[in-house]
Amino acid sequence: MNKILNFVETKLAPPLNKMASQHHLSAVKNGMIVTVPLTIIGSIFLLIPNIPIAAIKNFFEPYANMITTVNTVTIGSVGLVGAASVAYYFALEYTDIKIDPLITAFVSVVAFLLATLTDEFTIDTGLFGTRGLFTGILVALLTGTITHFFQKKNLVIRFPDTVPPLVSKSFMSLIPAFVVLTLVWIIRVVLGINVNQVLMDCFSPFIFALNTLPGFLVFMFIRSMLWSVGIHGGAVLAVADPFFLTMFGENVAAFAAGTLPPYITASGFTMFVFLGGGGATLPLVLMMIRSKEKGFSTLGKLCLPASLFEINEPVVFGVPLVMNPYMMIPYTLSTLTLSAGTYLLMLFNIIGRPVANIPWTIPPLFSHYLVTGGNIPAVIWGIAELFIAGAIYYPFFKAMEKQRLEGNEIE
């Protein structure tokens, strides 16, 4: 076990950490965070007329189309917002030369609109949502890169210091913006290359892999391993967020149309895996509260309020679970077990699939109900998950408790 931890810490973690802090990927991660409030608000307006209680559903039915317009606009603008937000953070994070992030974001949005033209040269508004997310990200990175290059090489229009700064910044962006828009125009209009379709074809294997059980289990295993050595696995692997968000957009559209959501591991799936936080540690906290060992009991009581709202850093670093080869086993095993169980139940349509993006701090069971659009079997599975995760943690916790009571703490 120590060899595994050592491998993760010395071989796996460094390149992944470097990847997470890489300029392009960092901008994508920060840009995607901006879209979260929109998807949450949109999900709320989608759920309101679809609450599976006859009286409520019947009451809202005449107004369903009016209410879900908010969902249509919010989820339907994720790609457009991503084009702006990713470009903004990409420009903001340059350290060698200062680029105006707001102007860069605006140029990126216009370039995105140009890239989404149809063959008849009209704007395809259908690509404003998650379907056009990858195009938005690519255009944002292209815009930031070209703007940075021209400013660094001083290939821009500069005015004397007596000219107002806003006017100076606007004209400084003129040449880079012209190059960006001309390049996108040549690719989409002159050459007739459907940028979005090309990107979707390129990324479809990754989307497919992350929506398969083996692919998702590998993803979650790496995430758990990173947390086990004290590295924020979610932050490091945030590069996968656009893939899950793209799946989520397709699920929302299907749910709104009354058809089966096509993707299982879309954004929201991990609500079934993170019971009380990563590693499903809520059952562990409940066991700690009832522990005969005073330290565990006190820590459990202190951790419970946060754990109920999916915050488990006090548990992870307090037990500790980090750098603890012994507790790494249940931490990882519970993650993989709940992932596999949830996947299979959704695959056979026994429980609902993710159709709503909700705040990650919503407690278990409530989150399961909301994320699946009011699916009761999903809540029943959530209850079963608490017992399953508890059964996985129990022997390891009791052994650790015994060691502490005997004065020999397991490390």
Q: What is the DSSP letter of 363?
A: P
71 and 84 fall within a common domain: yes
Residue 264 and residue 139 share a domain: no
Average pLDDT over residues 300-319: 86
191 and 227 housed in the same domain: no
The Cβ-side half-sphere exposure at 220, using a 13 Å CA radius, reads: 28
> Mean pLDDT, to the nearest integer, of 214-241?
82
What are the pLDDT digits (tens) for 90-108? Answer: 999 887 888 899 999 999 9
411, part of any domain: no
Q: Please say whether the beta carbons of 134 and 32 come within 8 A.
A: no
How many domains, the chain? 2
The parent domain of residue 292 ranges over 206-406
Report d(CA 307, CA 398) in Å as an integer: 20
Residue 356 lies inside a defined structural domain of this protein: yes
The two structure tokens encoding residue 297: 């009991």
Whether residues 28 and 80 share a domain: the answer is: yes
User: For position 223, what pLDDT does the model report?
Assistant: 87
Indicate whether 154 and 82 sit together in one domain. Answer: yes
- 384: tokens are 């079963």
Q: What average pLDDT does the chain have? A: 87
Final residue before a domain boundary, out of 183, 202, 221: 202
CB 310 within 8 A of CB 203: no
pLDDT for 11 equals: 63
d(CA 180, CA 349): 46
Q: Give residue 86's Cα distance to chain centre.
A: 14
Most confident listed range (44-53, 182-191, 219-228, 237-246): 182-191
Separation in Å, CA 24 to CA 21, 107, 201, 308: 9, 18, 21, 35
Which tops the pLDDT comparison, 177 or 47?
A: 177
